[in-house]
Amino acid sequence: MPKASKMKFYAVAVGRDAPNIYTTWDECSAKVSRYPKAMHQSFKTREEAERWLESKADVTALYSPENLRTIARGTQSSPIPVDSDDGLQRDARALGIEPSPPEQKVVLSPEQSRVFAEVKEGGNVFFTGSAGTGKSVLLREIIKFKTGRHSPNVIAITASTGIAAINIGGVTLHSWAGIKLGEEPVDRFVKKVRYQKSLESLRKRWQQVKALIIDELSMIDGSLFDYLEEIARELRGDSRPFGGIQLVLCGDFCQLPPVPGRDKKGREVPAKFAFEARSWDSCIGTPMMLKKVFRQRDQTFANMLNEMRYGKMQESTIRIFKSLERNVTYSDGIEPTEMYPTRREVANANTWRLGRLPGEPRIYEAQDHKGVDHKGEQISHERMLDILDKLVAPKTLELKVGAQVMLIKNLRQGILVNGSIGQVVDFATPKEAVESGTKIAQVESDKLHSRNGTSNINLVTQEILKYDWKWPVIKFTNGETLVVTPVDFTVNNGDGETLMARRLQLPLILAWALSVHKSQGQTLERVRVDLRRTFEMGQAYVALSRATNMEHLQVLNFSKEKVMADPKVLAWYGENVSTPEQEFDTDDDELSAFDEYR
C-alpha cells in the first residue's frame, strides 16, 4: 500500500464510467486512453479531486443526449433511437465521418518562414502586412509550435477583442493580464497582485510566462501597451523591456483602430496606436512585413486594395472601384453578404430577410454551460451569458429553408472554411441524410482550444447519429451540400487552461448581412458594401478586402473620402516598413510555395 503522503487521486471528468476518482494511474489510464476529449487530473487529496469534478460537472454534461435534444427542439418530434451500434457505424461511414480525417497542412511562404524562424530564435517580433497576407495562418502555426514545446501556461495566447481571441484559441489581452478595465495605477495593481493571496495564480501567470502573443494589435491602445509593459517589469523584477517576456505581435494598423476611451466626465479621449506607446521602440525592432497577398489572386485587385489601404489611389483605381456599383447575380440563388458597420443594422437586415421567407422557422437554442473563474469558483449565470454573448455563435438561431448562412468553423474535410456561405435547402435527420447520400459536416478539432490535442468530434456526432432529430442541410457556394450539426464553442480563463464558459450550437449564423467587426480576419466569396453608411476609419478597407475577387464584389457609393486611412498610420508605415510599391516585390519562390499548397 502506498504511503498516504505519496498517494494520488486521479479524477476523471470525461472518460469511460466518468465522473469517477481512482487511486492508481493504471486504473485512470484505462478509463481515458483513446477516449475522445478525455479530461482528467491528479490531486494530492480526495477532497481536491472531488472539488475539481464538481467544478467540471456542468461542462462535462455538455454532450448529453438531453442537451443535443434541447438544441434541436425547435419544431421537432421526439427522438427515435436507431437500433444498434452496427447501424451507428454504418451510418457514420455513410455520412462521411472518418475517425480522424486528415487536417490540412500549411506550407509557409518564404517570408512567413522568415518570421517563424525569428520567433523560434526567441526574438521579439511584430509582423504586419495588408489584409490577406496570411498573418492569421502564420500566427496559428506559431501557436502550434510554441504550445507544442512549452507547457501552455507559459505561452499567453491573446488578442485585442473576444472574437479575435476565440479565432486563435486564446483569451483577450485584458483577461490574460487580469487588469479588469486597466484603470488602476500600476503601483497599486502591482502591490495587489504581489501580496493578495487570492491573486496568487495571476502573480504566477505574470512571473512564469515566457511568450506573449497578441493578435489584431491594431486595436490595442498605446497607453495599454505601456501600462502592461511597466507591470511586466515590476511583477517579474526584470528591468528588460516587458520584463523579458518574448513578444509575438501581429496585426495591420490600416484595419480597425483602438476604441477611443472616455475620461471621468464621459468625454471621448482619442486612442493611441500601439506604435505610439512610449515603450514600443525598446520592445520591438524593425517590423516584419508580409507582402504576398494570398486572399486576392488577381494582382490588379490586390494592388487596388493596397492603394486604398495607403490612401493613395490613382484615378484609374477610383474609376474601377466606381464601376463595381453594378448588380452581380448568381445562378445558385446565394446572394452576396452585405457588410454593415454596426451589429444593430446587421440584426435588422437579417431578421427582415428571414421574415420574408415562407414557411415556419426552426429554432436552434444553444446549450450554455458555466465553467469556473480564475480562482476555480463557478461563474454566475449572468457572467456566463455576458461572456458567451461575445461569441459569434448565437444563443438562438432561427432558420428556414432558403435562409442564407455562414459557416463559423473550419471543416476538417478542408473543403469549406470559417466564412463559407451557403443556403439552407432542407432539414434532415441523420437517417434521411444517409438515404439521400448527404454527408455530415465535421469541424476542425478544437486543438487550439483544448490544448491537449484531443478531438471533440466523435462524442457529438455519435450522439447525433443515435437520434432522429432534424438538422439543417446546407448547400454551399462551392456546390457541396452537407448536414450541419452542433459543435462546442469554448471560452477559456486568462490562464488559458480552465474553461470559463462554453456553448453548444450549430456553427452557423445568418449571412445576408454581416458586421465589419465580425468579418475581420475572414475571407468572403461574395461581398456587397454600401459606403453611404457610416464607416469609421479602417472599416471600409476591412470590408472591401474580405472579397477574393472583383467579379464577386459590389461596391455602392464609392468615394475617395470614404476610404481614407489614418494619417498617423500612413506616416508610421512610411517610416518603418516600406512603400506600397515595394510591397508587390514578391518573388517566384513565394508563388511556387503557394501553388504547392493549392
The CB-side HSE value for 273 (13 A sphere, CA atoms) comes to 21
CA neighbor of 153 nearest in space, from 495, 536, 511: 495
- Output the smallest distance, CB 135 to ligand ATP, in A: 3
- Output the smallest distance, CB 309 to ligand ATP, in A: 10
Q: Which residues bind ligand ATP (CB under 6 A)?
A: 106-109, 112, 129, 131-137, 252, 294-295, 521, 523, 545, 594, 597
CA neighbor of 68 nearest in space, from 392, 426, 411, 469: 469
Cα 431 vs. chain centroid, distance in angstroms? 32
Q: Which is nearer to ligand ATP, 108 or 347 (CB)?
A: 108
User: Where do we find the cell 499567453?
Assistant: 156
Q: Which is nearer to ligand ATP, 111 or 463 (CB)?
A: 111
Distance CA 317, CA 305 (A): 9
- 214 by DSSP, 3-state: which? strand
- Output the smallest distance, CB 243 to ligand ATP, in A: 28
- Output the smallest distance, CB 137 to ligand ATP, in A: 4
Q: Is 129 annotated as contributing to ligand binding?
A: yes
- Output the smallest distance, CB 521 to ligand ATP, in A: 4
The DSSP result for 261-318, as a single string, is EE-TTS-EE----GGGSTTHHHH--SPEEE---SS---HHHHHHHHHHHTT---HHHH
- Output the smallest distance, CB 306 to ligand ATP, in A: 12
Residue nearest to ligand ATP (CB): 134
**Residue 37: which region, alpha, beta or left (left: phi > 0; alpha: psi -120 to 50)?**
left
Q: Is 178 annotated as contributing to ligand binding?
A: no
Q: Backbone phi, then psi, for 158, in 5-degree steps? A: -135, 165
Q: Is 133 annotated as contributing to ligand binding?
A: yes
How many CB atoms lie under 10 A from the CB of residue 417? 15
Q: Is 436 annotated as contributing to ligand binding?
A: no
The alpha carbons of the chain give a radius of gyration, in whole angstroms, of: 25
Q: Is 454 annotated as contributing to ligand binding?
A: no
Q: Are 401 and 427 in contact (CB under 8 A)?
A: yes
- Output the smallest distance, CB 253 to ligand ATP, in A: 11
- Output the smallest distance, CB 290 to ligand ATP, in A: 7
- 107 by DSSP, 3-state: which? coil
Q: Is 132 annotated as contributing to ligand binding?
A: yes
The DSSP result for 330-368, as a single string, is -TTSPPPEEEESSHHHHHHHHHHHHHHS-SPPEEEE-EE
Q: Which is nearer to ligand ATP, 251 or 472 (CB)?
A: 251
Q: Which is nearer to ligand ATP, 135 or 451 (CB)?
A: 135
Distance CA 157, CA 154 (A): 10
Q: Is 470 annotated as contributing to ligand binding?
A: no
Q: Which is nearer to ligand ATP, 186 or 417 (CB)?
A: 417
The bridge status of strand 39-43 relative to strand 125-129 is: unpaired
Q: Which is nearer to ligand ATP, 419 or 486 (CB)?
A: 419
Q: Is 135 annotated as contributing to ligand binding?
A: yes
Cα-Cα-Cα-Cα dihedral of 117, 120, 124, 130, to 10°?
40
Any idea what DSSP says for residue 151? Answer: -
- Output the smallest distance, CB 261 to ligand ATP, in A: 24
Q: Which residues are annotated as a binding site?
A: 129-136
Q: Which residues are annotated as a binding site for ATP?
A: 129-136
